[in-house]
Amino acid sequence: MSQGPKSSLDLTHVLYDDDSIFSLGLALVTLSPILLMASYAALAVQTREYLVIVMWAGQVFGEGLNYVVKHAVKQDRPIQSIGNGYGFPSSHSQYMGYFATFLACHMFFQHRFATTGVRIFDQLWRITVYTGLLGWAGVVAYSRYYLGYHNWHQIAWGSGIGCLLGFSFYLIVELLPTRYPLSFLGRTKYLMLSNSISTWLQIRDGWAVWPDGGREGEWLRWRAEWEQGQRRPGRRAKSKAK
């Protein structure tokens, strides 16, 4: 390694108050966007779902957009000694704004939740999911302010850009193509799913076929196979006893 100036990789380097458990908790929460990137990759490989892949692509696009805006505006962070680079807009707030908005739109417009059979419980569960999702994004945004990485101006703009990007991206890649399959966006989505590369990679759009993305059907198939496998040892034991 050369003897020149060194830089810190600020990806997981978070400063917090060592005497405060609350500060430690926020420091851990503020790292959650990094974990989400790993989750995107794992889900994309495991499920091959079109929705997961395009949501991930939008997230990466948002990170690139944030970099461009930061270097165009060049607004400093509130505390210069904390964090690297510029502060406007907050990338963490933008990240979570996009994530929460895109996912909330999908659950509202497309996804069917499993039912308990009691309508009020179903409604409470939906409210809990939406509240948890938006609360998560809010806590991450607050952590950036509390830990001194951004001021409220930078956080508000980051969250706003993320929410706008999440809604716009969902509108373009999922909602409009689904509602208007013969439109330009609908045909583009069809080509993305039907081309030879997507076929080879086994990319699928589960929500185009099943309201829950195929989760219940997959579970029922697993349950049937599992129960059949559980019965076989018993039959063999009875045969040996005879």
Rounded Cα distance, 95 and 113, in Å: 25
First-last CA distance in the chain: 75
Rounded Cα distance, 215 and 64, in Å: 33
Rounded Cα distance, 224 and 202, in Å: 24
Q: What is the Cα 192 distance to its own chain's centre?
A: 21
**Phi and psi at residue 81, in whole multiples of 5°?**
-80, -5
Q: Residue with structure tokens 């990789």?
A: 9
Contact 48/203 with Cβ under 8 angstroms?
yes
Stretch (H or E) spanning 215: helix 215-241
* pTM for the predicted model, two decimal places: 0.86
Omega of the bond leading into 89 within 30 degrees of 0 (cis): yes
Which two structure tokens, joined as six digits, stand for 2? Answer: 């050369």
- Looking at residue 139, its pLDDT comes to 95
Sign of the torsion formed by the C-alpha atoms of 111, 117, 118 and 124: negative
Q: What is the mean pLDDT of each run of 10 residues along the chain (242 residues)?
A: 53 76 89 90 92 95 95 88 84 95 94 85 91 94 91 95 96 95 95 94 90 84 87 58 52
- Looking at residue 242, its pLDDT comes to 52
Helix boundaries (H) for 147-207: 152-170, 176-179, 184-194, 196-201
Rounded Cα distance, 109 and 106, in Å: 5
- Looking at residue 6, its pLDDT comes to 47
Contact 66/94 with Cβ under 8 angstroms?
yes
Count of helix runs (H) and strand runs (E) in the chain? 10, 0
